[in-house]
Structure 1
Amino acid sequence: MYHDQLVGQLTMGINDTCLFQYCNEWLHTGFSISPLKLPLKGDLFEAPYLPFHGNFGVFDDCMPGGYGEYVLQKELNKEGINYQSLTPLQKLSIVGSSGMGALCYIPDNKITIPSKFKNLDKIQQAALDILSGKTDKNAGRLYVDSGNSGGVRPKILLQENGSHWIVKFRHINDPIESGKIEYMYSLAAKEAGIIVPRFKLFNDRYFGVERFDLSPDGERIHMVTASGLLDEGINPPKMDYKTLLALTGYITQDHIEVEQQFRRMVFNYYAENFDDHARNFSFLYVDGKWKLSPAYDMTHDSPLGQHATSVGYKANPTEKDFIEAGSSVQMSHKLCSDIIDEVKPIGQLLLAK
């Protein structure tokens, strides 16, 4: 479902893979929800088994990942349900209408547990308790509060003065200052000309961003990650920035968006934002056009010390490699060099702090 309109039907095929077909009305009035893998036509589409266990990337995007999946598993275990044994359709029914973005699923079997947490410090402690294995009694509440968001770190959805926020908390292995570090990265990214959502620190320690999958009047916006569009998994990560730049050009048909993506690539490398995998780049469908979402999940936290997305399939690219990546999508040598000269010192200064 999209804004109460039926998009299509999902079923399970004989190969334990999802089958999808747009409904007739959507074919005449709607849009392709995933242009590369689900073009707007009446065919019956079958998902590959890998990398999403038989699901299409655009639908897998809606399911919880990392922390959200962990607390959901803990909650279902109490009912004797093994989450990993569920089919993609059963998992999507748990998401129902509670996922990020605009897509909703019927039947809607989302978990509804009222939150008992009234302050952020208590949420942080409850998350640390469940992640450390101390207890799982608050698993359901923590899952519902997370809103099916992805990522390793605990998160909650929060409304404040009419605005909708995603607030992040420390994982057990994160430094105490992790929220302030991400805040500094967003400040630097903004200075580097990167479009970021509105952000702030809650309680001077918890980093929050305003949701960009909701319009100012609260209408849900269709959102797909690069992972979802390409059917590209992140474990292990294997995307290259040349692919990401080409995807950006193809889906947005806008050279300004391509230049913005190039700018993000340069910033990620010079600021050592290692967690630049395919789920950390998203696209929004707004007013009949695709565009880049604001940048998100930019920080310095990878224990591997290596980027998830390569440049020319090199782990340690040079400026020449950045320019070659830009040239592959018709960016001029001068434009690439100018962006590098602008962004490089900002990233280097950030690391020196």
Structure 2
Amino acid sequence: MTTSERPLFVYLQRPDNGEWVVAGRYLPDAHAGSGSFRYAPSYVEAGLSWAIDPVNLPFVPGVDYPAQRYDGLHDVLRDASPDSWGQMLIRREHQLGVHATAIDFLRLSGNGDRWGALAVGESRKPHVAKLASPRLHRLDALVQEVLAIAQAKPAIDGLLRKRLFATPSMGGARPKATVQDGNDYWLVKPGLMTDTVDLALLEHATMQWGRRAGLRFADTRHHRLGIGRSVLRILRFDRRGAQRIMTVSAASLLQVQYPPVEAADSSGASYPRLAEELKRIGAPPEDGIELFGRMVFNGVVGNSDDHPRNHAVLFDLDQQRWRLSPAFDVVPDTQDDPGVLVMQVSAGRHDITREAMLQDYLRFGFATHADASDHFDALLKRIEDGYADIAPLLDAALRANMQQRLQTMLAKLRMAPVVR
């Protein structure tokens, strides 16, 4: 049996007491490009019943769940695997060729800092490295090392580079790493020399804008390091001290493959569908309204990168149920005023228009079209007022750009006055 065919045990950090347990077994079939998952008998016998993916892998003992996407890797395990940046680190560290599979990246990415509360290994006993992220006071060194990696330069700090290569599991294409500040963990994203605008500053301001508008956005901080290097850090919602929190992407909930291999792979990426999945997994009604607000906010600011991996749910430790996660990775397109969003805003429609965004109001949880319309207008006012608070954060060029964007979109989305 080859390495790519050996079973992997899926470990879960229990959301009640933090103990690591074997939740199930993943068995890949490299030749067929498929795989299956089954909850472990020991998990069942211990009286545990948390579903690691409430849609694709509901807790049903004795059932073998086939993988439908990612060449045989289950969606939630794909969530726990690296995206472009992490894959690049793994390819470089292990000299992988172009034929490396999603399963290869899952096996090789290490358990030190995966997204969410899952880990994997070949042992029937959980063996998971403790979180050991660099401390905040080492932020400058961390950023320098991350950028040196991105530019294929020699190590500045050999030990730090070794640690970064050992924890390559975070998603996205841009260079990033995790830093610890007390009991909090922050995702660090430095600006790049190739950026045409200060994207780190823009993302920080936009995330704060969403919070000022009354939406649940992850908290952020912005720093200027060294010779003016712009750096963003975003509070990770899948961590509470040493406790890792179960997290599942919207791509997994919606059962769509992202990035898509074919156009049809992402045809199910939809805000109203996601709102319905939130209801299905037990999230409260306000989460559907919150999702509606994020959809409108993305349209107003021109965030055309609102793909289904940039939305997620988490298992709330206090409420012991699934909730919509805080919003993350919200960055406006500064080149053009986008006319569409990646996710459908209503059935079959992506256009950023009032009509399209209100069309499926029932699916978000509004009782009437009038209720949805009133909420829409109140939200636009909060977004407008929120911009006044965050505009001073931006440099002059970005401030002018986003001021024009806001005026254009408010004029487009507000209800036309009734002529009497």
Which TM-score band (shorter chain)? Answer: 0.7 to 0.9
Task: Determine whether 1:37 maps to 2:56.
Answer: yes
* 1:270-289 paired onto structure 2 within 5 Å: 270-287=300-317, 288-289=320-321
Compare CA radii of gyration and give the structure with the larger one: 2
Question: Cα offset for 1:294?
Answer: 0.8
Question: Cα offset for 1:272?
Answer: 0.9
CA contact (8 A) 2:90 2:105 kept: no
CA contact (8 A) 2:148 2:154 kept: yes
CA contact (8 A) 2:251 2:308 kept: yes
Change in Cα spacing, 1:179 to 1:31, as seen in structure 2 (3 Å) is same
Task: Determine whether 1:323 maps to 2:345.
Answer: no
CA contact (8 A) 1:131 1:171 kept: no
Q: For structure 1, which runs of at least 5 residues remain unmatched after alignment?
A: none
CA contact (8 A) 2:283 2:324 kept: no
Cα shift readout 1:81-108 (whole Å, capped 9, x = no counterpart): 3374356167335333431211111136
**Corresponding residue to 2:91 among 50, 53, 73:** 73
Q: Residue 17 of structure 1 aligns with which residue?
A: 34
Task: Determine whether 1:352 maps to 2:403.
Answer: yes
Q: Residue 107 of structure 2 aligns with which residue?
A: 92
CA contact (8 A) 2:109 2:166 kept: no
CA contact (8 A) 1:76 1:82 kept: no
CA distance in 2 between counterparts of 1:113 and 1:75 reads 20
Q: Residue 224 of structure 1 aligns with which residue?
A: 248
Question: Cα offset for 1:271?
Answer: 1.1
CA distance in 1 between counterparts of 2:178 and 2:133 reads 13
Q: What is the number of residues matched between the two proteins?
A: 345
CA distance in 2 between counterparts of 1:195 and 1:223 reads 16
Question: Cα offset for 1:57?
Answer: 0.5
Cα shift readout 1:306-335 (whole Å, capped 9, x = no counterpart): 522122232323212211222234413233
CA distance in 2 between counterparts of 1:150 and 1:124 reads 17
* 1:283-322 paired onto structure 2 within 5 Å: 283-287=313-317, 288-301=320-333, 305=338, 306-312=340-346, 313-322=348-357
Give the TM-score, by structure 1 length. 0.85
Answer with 66-75 or 38-47: which moved more: 66-75
Change in Cα spacing, 1:309 to 1:135, as seen in structure 2 (3 Å) is farther
Q: Residue 8 of structure 1 aligns with which residue?
A: 24
Q: Residue 250 of structure 1 aligns with which residue?
A: 280
Change in Cα spacing, 1:334 to 1:25, as seen in structure 2 (3 Å) is farther
CA distance in 1 between counterparts of 2:312 and 2:98 reads 26
CA contact (8 A) 2:109 2:169 kept: no
Task: Determine whether 1:211 maps to 2:232.
Answer: no
Q: Residue 399 of structure 2 aligns with which residue?
A: none
Question: Cα offset for 1:18?
Answer: 1.4
Counterpart of 1:265 in structure 2: which amino acid? M
CA distance in 1 between counterparts of 2:284 and 2:300 reads 25
CA distance in 1 between counterparts of 2:208 and 2:102 reads 41
Question: Cα offset for 1:122?
Answer: 4.9
Change in Cα spacing, 1:44 to 1:178, as seen in structure 2 (3 Å) is same
CA distance in 1 between counterparts of 2:210 and 2:351 reads 21
Q: Residue 174 of structure 2 aligns with which residue?
A: 153
CA distance in 1 between counterparts of 2:71 and 2:194 reads 29
CA distance in 2 between counterparts of 1:140 and 1:233 reads 32
Q: Residue 104 of structure 1 aligns with which residue?
A: 119
CA distance in 2 between counterparts of 1:260 and 1:323 reads 14
CA distance in 2 between counterparts of 1:104 and 1:198 reads 26
What is the aligned-residue RMSD (CA, Å)? 3.1
Change in Cα spacing, 1:318 to 1:114, as seen in structure 2 (3 Å) is closer
Question: Cα offset for 1:40?
Answer: 1.0
CA distance in 2 between counterparts of 1:30 and 1:346 reads 41
CA distance in 1 between counterparts of 2:82 and 2:105 reads 13
CA distance in 1 between counterparts of 2:373 and 2:107 reads 45
Matched residues, percent identical? Answer: 23
CA distance in 2 between counterparts of 1:281 and 1:200 reads 20
Change in Cα spacing, 1:173 to 1:346, as seen in structure 2 (3 Å) is farther
Question: Cα offset for 1:161?
Answer: 3.0
Q: Residue 210 of structure 2 aligns with which residue?
A: 189
CA distance in 2 between counterparts of 1:87 and 1:183 reads 31
CA contact (8 A) 1:169 1:207 kept: yes
